[in-house]
Chain A
């Protein structure tokens, strides 16, 4: 149940009273007014607290009010907060300007763009959506969905490799993914070429009681696509672009593709405005939009960037992939507008965003073509405030589409997606070097507060990470593709900001100030704005995990049980320093070889341990559990982007209660009662 509770602040409501007190310590708090116990109880019952910035600014300094609001929000939590102002009176700013002013101020007080979005968009939407969920014109409630039947074909027509030895011989790469997790064999490898063939495979396997694992580009890091017996269903033939259109209501360009379109191709096509398949085979409507798209002045791109651009779009949706650009644009979820999902029954759900919402009791009712009804009850738990890829998504009155995004394929196979594009601006990529890890972290904190600098992403290279790249440069400078890393560099921050190469007097004075306040200067940097050089910067970032993987692969030859230990934890903004110190002191105490890199903008850098022996591996694993617990205790997540798959199941109970896990399992069972798809992923049933 949602309860709208407005915090009234007597002093601010009565400017005269505030003026009389004039004390900077003036208590504008809500707690004395409504009572802490009542508040706590309401929050625990799911109340949403409105934090209102009053348009009374003369008598009471903004800063005190704002800091008080910050305190309030941090107390009740982002997920329980809504921001508002009462601007608009004669002599005051108009409501929009007043609200923007409020948001900007909150950003300088350390709230991230994502947090502000939750409080200004998502939470208000939740409140409003409740009222929207009314029976529509046909009297059908929007939590009721019907699946489509798909024509079946003879299973023998589907290309299939039979027998484990045959698969191991010529199709070895289908047996593992980037996690390098050991497989348990597979008896069939199917290559369905469309939904009819896929449906036949699902029906046949279901009939014969054979489990299947869905296989996309196998770029996942948690073994989601690694077979544990049964059949592998490769979706690689679903690689067509289907449609391009402009949604005048949402005011955005949308691209619809099959699930196996490669991320790199998607961005290449959208940015170069070149869609060969659509030019030839698109409908006349698509062709008209294509023409309009080419003529439009802007350049567009698909913002989610999982670093590994060889991934398939379907895989990125199934895992709610995030990456560096999540800092600015959020994870994949924010960009998905439609999905087609094939369920275990072989029937298809088409889910446009904004059409199907959970009932007030948190249920969806799925009806199949024969009229059989299944009730899906969404798990009720509160999601972490950070970016997150652990578990099945849940919010009250959630959109059905969100249940599938990030579900790791355990509920069905995503066959088609429609995603939104965003306008591409000219950027400059900067790798700024710092004298120590701590200075680099200070820079990140300072940069986030500087509201006029809006980085696309903020990435971290720890001192050990730079050393690893230095080693690599010594071996073969060409592989790294960058000039020698300067000797003075003991850490680096990689970020992108808007830049106009034509502008003679770009103002970078703010950045200059922030950089020099953190012990460095702009000459101690690398910068690039040409596409080809920006690509080099990206490669310089991507080469880190690749190098780690190859080091581990080498060590594995001697000790096969060894594997990489990489964290995927994220914490809220204000906990960045704390978690860094925790990681660092724990790892140094044990004397392990380690390094850190990645999405520090979201307080989500990856700490990697490179064990040299089984003992070190054991130590590493136990430290990892400690890390996970610490991250969760700080309000973070055990998996910000890699997902759970087969590798991180052990961490699952650290984050979720048994009750929540059971609720997630119930969702799986509702959609896939035979537990056919992706067995062993996310949890064991």
Chain B
């Protein structure tokens, strides 16, 4: 065999190994949810009617994926891994992540995981991350799922893993030495920016207004990216800690939130204009 060629191969291999070693690893935890416009609750049983309802990637999780891809572009092609726990059908939302540009995906699918509350979910994911991925630099999650609205799995996950967390970020970036992350979050009085050491968990509350559209090539390529399905036997855990048995809370009743009508803020700088608008508003409703 040609020795030069051999040398080239080993050089390339060395480079790729070295790259892997210094490459940043970002994990994105995502959830499958029913499409919100279709949510209906069976009045008799109090459960969600899932018949004919499409399952989609939770929009806030999609924001987290967007942020991960942004970081990937800015930081020497960081490796991005999407993780989800759910039934085998949840594969479709991980596929959406891969189509958007995530490098590989892991699905935790096992009957024993079923019925998990937020705590059991966070614990299972934490164990899986430790067992399968080991080290990582950043975990991104969506601020909450649009079906349950609990916003608990992210914070619980960071507690279990013992890493810092910054919640409800609208923007984030790494510091120049890439040892820390800065997250900007909206709070009631304005904005605040927090800094945390890596590894760290960040929940994302805002993303692009317009959802990304992959090319046909990206959709076809996504189906060839690494996709791992993991069961309870792959992670170090006791049956009493996971699924329904490991859940500390229980859903007693599900009901749709009462819709509140959105108010209107009149923002005209001229008080006279603002007053006019207000009067108009009241007139339309026959208050004056």
Contacts and interface: CB of A to CB of B under 8 A. Distances in A.
A430 B210 contact: no
Nearest to A430: B216
Interface string A472-510: 000001100111000000000000000001011110100
A600 to B, nearest CB: 19
B216 A482 contact: no
B210 A528 contact: no
Nearest to B223: A504
A478 B209 contact: yes
Nearest to A271: B52
A272 B212 contact: no
A522 B52 contact: no
B217 A532 contact: no
A522 B217 contact: yes
Contacts of B218: 523, 527
A533 B100 CA distance: 14
Interface string A513-537: 0000000011111111111110010
A527 B216 contact: yes
B210 A478 contact: yes
A154 B52 CA distance: 45
Contact of A532 (B35, B210, B216): B35
Interface in B194-223: 209-220, 223
B220 A522 contact: yes
B54 interface: yes
A501 B95 contact: yes
A185 B219 CA distance: 54
Contacts of B51: 272
Nearest to B38: A272
A677 interface: no
A301 to B, nearest CB: 13
Interface in A410-447: 428, 430, 432
Given A504-B223, A506-B223, A527-B215, 10 more contacts: A428-B219, A432-B216, A482-B213, A501-B95, A503-B223, A504-B224, A523-B217, A525-B215, A528-B213, A528-B214
Contacts of B214: 526-528
A481 B210 contact: yes
Interface in B9-41: 35
B244 interface: no
A483 B210 contact: yes
B215 A524 contact: yes
Contacts of B54: 530-532
A203 interface: no
Chain B interface extent, by class: 20 to 34
A274 B212 CA distance: 31
B135 interface: no
Contact of B216 (A428, A504, A530): A428
A273 interface: yes
A531 B212 CA distance: 15
Nearest to A511: B216
B56 interface: yes
B109 to A, nearest CB: 15
B175 interface: no
A483 B211 CA distance: 7
Contacts of A272: 51-52
Nearest to A506: B220
Interface in A183-238: none
B212 A529 contact: no
Q: Which one of B51, B54, B215, B223 has the greatest number of beta carbons of chain A within 10 Å?
A: B215
A521 B172 CA distance: 34
Given A477-B210, A483-B210, A529 B219 contact: yes
B249 interface: no
19 contacts: A271-B52, A272-B51, A273-B52, A432-B216, A477-B209, A478-B209, A501-B95, A504-B224, A508-B216, A508-B220, A522-B215, A522-B220, A524-B215, A525-B215, A526-B213, A528-B214, A530-B54, A531-B35, A536-B213
B70 to A, nearest CB: 15
Interface of A: 271-274, 428, 430, 432, 477-478, 481-483, 501, 503-506, 508, 521-533, 536
Contacts of A481: 210
B46 to A, nearest CB: 20
A536 B213 CA distance: 10
B240 to A, nearest CB: 35
B75 interface: no
B92 interface: yes
A483 B212 contact: yes
A533 B223 CA distance: 19
Given A504-B224, A525-B215, A530 B56 contact: yes
Contacts of A525: 215-217
Interface in B227-250: none
Contact of B219 (A477, A504, A524, A527): A527
Nearest to A504: B223
Contacts of B212: 483
Nearest to B96: A530
Q: Which one of B56, B214, B219 has the greatest number of beta carbons of chain A within 10 Å?
A: B219
Nearest to B49: A274
A484 B212 CA distance: 10
A506 B210 CA distance: 28
Contacts of B215: 522-527
A506 B95 CA distance: 15
B209 A533 contact: no
Contacts of A501: 92, 95
A508 B220 CA distance: 9
A506 B224 CA distance: 10
A272 B214 CA distance: 27
Contacts of B224: 504
Interface string B47-68: 0000110101000000000000
Nearest to A515: B216
Nearest to A431: B213
A521 B216 CA distance: 10
A204 B164 CA distance: 80
9 smallest beta-carbon distances between A and B, as pairs: A272-B52, A527-B216, A522-B217, A526-B213, A523-B217, A522-B216, A525-B216, A525-B215, A523-B215
B50 to A, nearest CB: 12
Nearest to A480: B210
A527 B213 contact: yes
Q: Which one of A477, A503, A522 has the greatest number of beta carbons of chain B within 10 Å?
A: A522
Contacts of B223: 503-506
A469 B203 CA distance: 35
Contacts of B213: 482-483, 526-528, 533, 536
Contacts of A522: 215-217, 220
A271 B216 CA distance: 26
Interface in B65-91: none
A461 to B, nearest CB: 15
A632 B56 CA distance: 48
Nearest to A531: B54
Contacts of A531: 35, 54
A353 to B, nearest CB: 30
A504 B213 CA distance: 20
A526 B214 CA distance: 6
B107 to A, nearest CB: 14
A506 B223 CA distance: 9
Interface in B89-127: 92, 95-96
A511 to B, nearest CB: 8
A280 B188 CA distance: 49
A529 B92 CA distance: 11
Contacts of B56: 530, 532
Given A272-B52, A530-B54, A482 B210 contact: yes
B92 to A, nearest CB: 7
Nearest to B37: A532
Nearest to B219: A527
Q: Which one of A273, A430, A432, A501 has the greatest number of beta carbons of chain B within 10 Å?
A: A501
A266 to B, nearest CB: 15
Contacts of B210: 477-478, 481-483
Contacts of B209: 477-478
